[in-house]
Amino acid sequence: MEQQRRRLDVWVTSVVATVVIAIGAAAPHATAQTLAWDPSPDASVAGYRVRYGASAAALEASVDVGGRFELPLRWWPRDRPWFFCVEAYNASFTRSRCSDVVVLTPNVDEPGGGAIETYAQWVARLAPGAESADPDDDGVTNANEFIARTDPFVPNRWLFAEGATGAFREEIALANPTSDSALVRLRFLREGADAVETVAALGPASRATVVVNDVPGLGATSAGVELIGTYGAVVAERTMTWTAPGGSRPSHTAKAVAAPSSEWYFAEGEARLTDTWFLVANAGTSATSVTFEFMTDLGARVVRTYTVGPQARFTVWANAIAELAGNSFATTVRATQPVIAERAVYFWSGTSGWRGGHVSAGATAPAQRWFVAEGRTGPFFDTYVLIGNPGASAVTATLRYLTQAGLSRTDVVTIGARSRLTIPVDHLKGLEDTDVSVDVSTSGPVIVERSMYWPGDASSWREGHNSVALAELGTRWVLADGRWRDSAAAESYLLLANPGNLTAVAKVRVLREYGRPPLSVDVYLPPSSRQTIRIDDSVGLQAGERFSLDVTSTQPIAVERSMYTSVGGTWTSGSNETGTRIK
């Protein structure tokens, strides 16, 4: 393709460097498959970041390409012109001013660009079913998904209730597990202020991270997030990190939920050793009344009602409710119009701040079957299964504990009406020091969560992670975040549970950044067992990589991922989340 070059000045620190960007034809809205530039002669340049947007005045999104000198555009959405500029940065991440802006429209006709499919071709490739079907339950039919060029199996809208910058570093991990490009709009719902928006684009089978602190207007605020997929498909997780006493970097992670609900259920909550907070986000256009019903381990019931304004977020500190002091509890949240609800739990360290914590979105309904993939007992971890019964009658629960060797034990327990039961898994014979998953079935609808705390016993806990159990098994799962050997010595583990009676074969695809091809590994899961897979350089990862996971199984399984960092000690921080079910 004929290339025309434009000279663009880019500076780093006090040194001025010249960067050349190569684009396609010279027309104002030129077509191209690659945005390219000559390397800077400045020896202090460590990498480049491409900023882009729908207009020259709104270059709000960016792609960090590291030491590369090009950004492939063959996967870029082709429905409009795109505006680009390039920044250089040094080893301290001091960024230059942006170059002059160029305008490109990715070419659909150039070889390799891929012509737009007909509906018949799209159906043959993806097999979504009838035109009127809606396999991802997002309110958009297959016919309209095709028109919008969005994925029929991944919801077009995701939501988070929690989110804060300032003392926290907030990052939103985005995964695109499909063979199409993706574009997503992120809308931040701030407490007491107008919403702020930005956009992000991802190539096929790739991932990206949005650092919320770097988005203009979000440097020191609390905000829920609404993500709207406008092209292709994304799955999202949010991780918040802070500095704890002693210099460790604790964090917690939660996946986005696909839709607001008028009811949310939580099995975990504690107002003795920890601070428990509830975050409610109202993306609607009118205020809503929200009622909290707390049910303690002792059977007490405490009720509070609050008002949450439109397009806003509201926070409830459970420890401030006198009747909850010193108690553990399950919680039901009911709103007069649909909202998003999350719960955050923090370990307090005197007046010095939070030394650890975890967060989870609630379940939207109780159920009679739940699956927990993660669990570890022994001298370092303590694992608990929490069962909340919001009903007016007692229920019985059958718990099957699965290890790598198979089914270890089966227990039957009773949960009283409107109360919570805590099961310390470390205290169960045969499970004192092992990896373990749990398959829970009950006589009536309940809520199940799993919490892990470390190190040692309650007197020395400094960190923990938690997940609401999965109410369904699936054959395809996506996890948006994962890290390997970064500056915090991060490690990531994939936990797979097969409660069925047939062997499952799971193909794990590792989705990467900067145009790196996916990696893959196969995992065999015997019946009634669980497996732990460390995602590390044995699959081809490089130190410092962030990644996403796309897991496809021959049998329905449960999937989770845990991440640990070691700053000032071994595994001083950790977070966990269940997979997002695609099929």
pLDDT score at 538: 86
Ranges for all domains in the chain classified under CATH 2.60.290.11: 261-361, 367-468, 474-581
pLDDT score at 255: 93
Q: How many C-beta atoms lie closer than 10 Å to residue 333's C-beta?
A: 21
Residue 532 has pLDDT above 50, yes or no: yes
Domain 261-361: top CATH class:
mainly beta
Exposure string of 230-239, with b = 16+ CB inside 10 Å and e = fewer, is ebbbbbbbbb
State how far the Cα of 296 lies from the Cα of 583, in Å rounded to an integer: 36
Residue 8 has pLDDT above 50, yes or no: no
The CATH number for 474-581, chosen from 2.60.290.11, 3.40.470.10, 1.10.10.10, 3.30.43.10, is 2.60.290.11
Q: What is the mean pLDDT of residues 548-553?
A: 96
Is residue 219 within 8 A of residue 166, CB to CB? The reply is yes
Does domain 4-106 fall into CATH 2.60.40.10? yes
pLDDT score at 425: 95
**What torsion, rounded to 10 degrees, do the Cα atoms 407, 410, 415, 419 define?**
-30
> If we measure between CA atoms, which residue out of 201, 148, 251 comes closest to residue 486?
251
Q: What is the mean pLDDT of residues 305-328?
A: 88
Beta bridge partners of 411: 399
pLDDT score at 1: 28
Residue 444 has pLDDT above 60, yes or no: yes
HSE-up of residue 38 (Cα within 13 Å, Cβ side): 14
Q: What is the mean pLDDT of residues 426-430?
A: 93
Q: What is the 3-state secondary structure (H, E, C) of 460-522?
A: CCCEEEEEECECCCEEEEEECCCECCCCCCCEEEEEEEECCCCCEEEEEEEEECCCCCCEEEE
Q: Is 34 exposed, middle or buried (0-12, 13-18, 19+ CB in 10 A)?
A: middle
| pLDDT tens column, 394-405 | 999 999 999 999
CATH for the stretch 367-468: 2.60.290.11
Give the whole-number percent of the chain exceeding pLDDT 70.
89
Q: Collapsing DSSP states into helix, strand and coil, what is residue 402?
A: strand
pLDDT score at 216: 79
Residue type (1 letter), 181: S
Q: What angle do CA 317, 323, 324 make, to 5 degrees?
A: 50
Residue 462 tokens read as 């400094």
Is residue 27 within 8 A of residue 182, CB to CB? The reply is no
| pLDDT tens column, 333-378 | 999 999 989 998 888 765 566 778 888 899 999 999 999 999 999 9
Residue 445 has pLDDT above 90, yes or no: yes
Ranges for all domains in the chain classified under CATH 2.60.40.10: 4-106
* Most confidently predicted of 66-75, 115-124, 152-161: 152-161
